[in-house]
Structure 1
Amino acid sequence: MKRILIAPINTMLFEEVMTFVRVVAPMRYDYVCHFYRKEDQYRSALAYVLLCLANKKIVGEISRGVNGKPYLQETDCQISISHTNGLVSVGISNENIGVDCEIESNIDEIIIDESFSKKEKIQVTKDDFLKVVFWTAKEAISKLYNEDWYSSPATELIYNNSELKDTVIQEVYLHPFVFLNGCICTASLSAEQPDFQVITEKELIEFFDSFSEFFSKN
Structure 2
Amino acid sequence: MLGNHRSFLKLILSIKNTRAVMMNEFFLVNNRSITIGDINIRQFQMYDFDEWAPVAKVIKNFIKNHSDEIYKSLLKVHAAEVITLLSKSTHQDETALISIAEASESLLIQLVGAMIKVNDAFFSEKESKRKSRRKSQSKNADQANWFDSFQLLIESGHHSADIMQMTYGAFISYLKAAQKQRSQNLLTNTHLMRAAQHAKDKAYAKLTDELKPSED
- Does TM, normalized by the shorter one, top 0.5? no
| Larger helix percent | 2
TM-score normalized by the length of structure 1: 0.24
- Bigger strand fraction: 1
* TM-score, scaled to structure 2: 0.24
